[in-house]
Structure 1
Amino acid sequence: MNKKLMFLALATIGFAGCNGGFKQGDGGMLYNIHTSKGGAKLKEGDFVSLNMILKTDKDSILNNSYDSGAPIYSPMPKVQTKGDIVSGLSLLGEGDSATIKVSVDSLRKNGQQVPPTFKGKYLVYIVKIEKVIAKGALNEKVFQDRVMQYINGQKDALKAKEPAKIDAYFAAHKDLKFTKTASGLNYVITTPGSGPNVAPHDTAIINYTLRLTTGKVIETSEKAVAVKEKMSINPMNPYQPIPVVIGEGRVVKGWDEGFQLFNKGTKAVMVIPSSLGYGDQGSQQMQPYTPLVFEVELVNIKHPDPNAPKPAAPQMPMQMPTTAPATK
């Protein structure tokens, strides 16, 4: 199975739901099943595709799979602690939906990870089970073939939707006059810079904010943006411009091309199609065929030292720089 699938066993944050109608489960868990189709319930080893909205019990949204336009894929993991999210999911089958409140105290008592800055009684998950492929007695090859057939079908659907997502962004930002390059990169310079453009092998010092075409912020190097967008703030994050080597395949193609169009002081918006981003595989934060919107500022340009020793190993290719999410 694709290693980039999101595993529910790693989920450590939750979503707050309704106040009434909850039943008591094991380990302090509360659950409210909104829709039940009466099908077989999830079992360990089954493949599940689901949508999940993540919130604190104070109604602060932390994550929402609907933003990416595609569900989460995962093998159904083993229950780690009575009353954990996997326990709640085992009450559901294909087509079912529920709000599941997981007791933070219970998780902590059993040694499960909880965000250290989390303040609240529950981690609460609002989930909709979109698809289940039961493992049952299927041999591994047959099971994996069925899973990949489903995933590839979902990818094809995402690919077909990508142009409409980009067009919707342009329609919502008619004040920005984008230029489209031969590769498909769209960019607009909102504040001109001065001096020579970035050249291959230069290090661009940049501030950036990554958004989906819906406007949702995924990452930023600027604390003011993180606070404005109500992102959770990591005190270990310096929130400062980052250095990026351009033209050596160390970042996504859209950055390698785009920054060579800019000079020092430039502020710009780049709309990067998936062919110049994370492609048909996506990333930990991105579904396949996801177009990216970058608001960037080129703070400075550093030229390579011709006398400097060559690095022993290159940076990991095709990876955007990441920042931990931001808290007031």
Structure 2
Amino acid sequence: MKKNLMFLALAAVGLASCNGGYKKGDNGLLYNIYTDKSGPKIKVGDFLTANLIIKNDADSVLMSTYDQGRPSPLLLPKASSPGDIFSAITLFAEGDSASVKILADSVFKRGAKPPGFKGKYLNYTIKIEKVIPKGKLTDQAFNEEITKYMKGLADVQKNAEPAKIQKYLDDNKLKVNKTDSGLYYVITQPGQGPLIAANDTAVINYVGRQLNGKVFDTSIKAEGIKAKLSSLDQRPFKPIPVVIGQKKVIEGWDTGLRLLNKGAKATFIIPSKLAYGAMGAGPIAPYTPIVFDLEVVDVIHPKPGSLAPAPPTAQLPAKK
């Protein structure tokens, strides 16, 4: 009997060791709280912002709010299934940081796993930045609290943008020109022929980056593979046509491309007012400056007296 008890005790220690100190939750959920502020736990219906990194078991980053430059806002819904990420969040309080492991099969059971996904778990590293409890607040009062908080976050990002751009220029030792509109640019390879003008169609290759160097979009396959962009097999990876002056793309492109000609290469450092502004787009947070390296592969001039047709443009450079 004693031997059996000893065996069970050793097995329990071994299991805890294998799980790295993680506690068990529902449906295979594992969690480990690193910073425990011991405040009120988050409840369904509360508003929160959190910074998180999601990885697979191969330690490949699938998503990071740190790359986006802002915590993710969430009005906490009911758990869609036991042991999902929403149920895990109810274990935490404002200021807590933790690791969470969720069985990948429970997350992707209704659809195929992402291409190249490896491992048994989705691994979350979470830091709860802010919680606004719903409590007994009326819907109006609750929404006003959320709006006030989010505006404060946006103001911080907006005010920090000039310093971020200057730091990027200094760190990369860039000697830039600046347009009256606020676009920073460097022509890295001069082209030939007349400058691109309104109604011309510029055919370009491009790589779009955040200031931290992370690529968020590109027309070049090798760059997409290197950056491990999602849905690689669904991307055309070819130069895209852009009609100048029709406001089909962000203003930074519409302005900057007029400074170039066929064969030119350039780097644009684009402030948010010439990109995605206060709303952001996809992985690009509000008030976020971005960088594009571009090459003008061709310039198609309209026939005299006619306007160029508007061909399709890439999703991310498109004006929102």
TM range (shorter): 0.7 to 0.9
Q: CA deviation at 1:38?
A: 1.2
Percent of aligned pairs sharing the same letter = 49
Q: Which residue of 1 aligns with 2:186?
A: 188
Pairing partner for 1:275 from 273, 276, 281 = 273
CA 1:257 to 1:307, structure 2 compared with 1: closer, same or farther past 3 Å? Answer: closer
Q: Which runs of 5+ in 1 are unaligned?
A: 1-17, 323-328
CA 1:303 to 1:45, structure 2 compared with 1: closer, same or farther past 3 Å? Answer: farther
Q: Which residue of 1 aligns with 2:49?
A: 49
Q: Which residue of 1 aligns with 2:148?
A: 149
Q: Does 1:320 align with 2:317?
A: yes
Q: Which residue of 2 aligns with 1:166?
A: 165
Q: Which runs of 5+ in 2 are unaligned?
A: 1-17
**C-alpha distance in 1, partners of 2:92/2:44?**
12
**C-alpha distance in 2, partners of 1:310/1:69?**
37
**C-alpha distance in 2, partners of 1:19/1:272?**
45
**C-alpha distance in 1, partners of 2:259/2:201?**
14
Q: CA deviation at 1:223?
A: 1.4
Amino acid at match of 1:70: R
CA 1:90 to 1:187, structure 2 compared with 1: closer, same or farther past 3 Å? Answer: same
Q: CA deviation at 1:233?
A: 5.6
Q: CA deviation at 1:67?
A: 2.4
**C-alpha distance in 2, partners of 1:295/1:237?**
18
Q: CA deviation at 1:113?
A: 6.4
Deviations 1:166-221 (A, max 9, x none): 011111221x3210111110101101111112111222111111111121211111
Q: Which residue of 2 aligns with 1:5?
A: none
Deviations 1:24-55 (A, max 9, x none): 21111111111111112222221111101121
Give the TM-score, by structure 2 length.
0.87
Deviations 1:217-274 (A, max 9, x none): 1111111112333445621222111122221111111111000111011110000111
Q: Does 1:95 align with 2:92?
A: no
**C-alpha distance in 1, partners of 2:302/2:62?**
40
Q: CA deviation at 1:64?
A: 1.7
**C-alpha distance in 1, partners of 2:231/2:243?**
27
Pick the structure with more helix per residue: 2
**C-alpha distance in 2, partners of 1:113/1:90?**
27
CA 1:241 to 1:309, structure 2 compared with 1: closer, same or farther past 3 Å? Answer: closer
Which entry has the higher C-alpha Rg, 1 or 2? 2
Kept in 2: contact 1:43–1:90 (CA 8 A): yes
Kept in 2: contact 1:250–1:319 (CA 8 A): no
Q: CA deviation at 1:309?
A: 9.8
Q: CA deviation at 1:58?
A: 0.8
Counting only pairs closer than 5 Å after superposition, residues 18-29 of structure 1 correspond to structure 2 as 20-29=20-29
Pairing partner for 1:245 from 239, 243, 246 = 243
Amino acid at match of 1:37: K
CA 1:209 to 1:96, structure 2 compared with 1: closer, same or farther past 3 Å? Answer: same
**C-alpha distance in 1, partners of 2:206/2:288?**
18
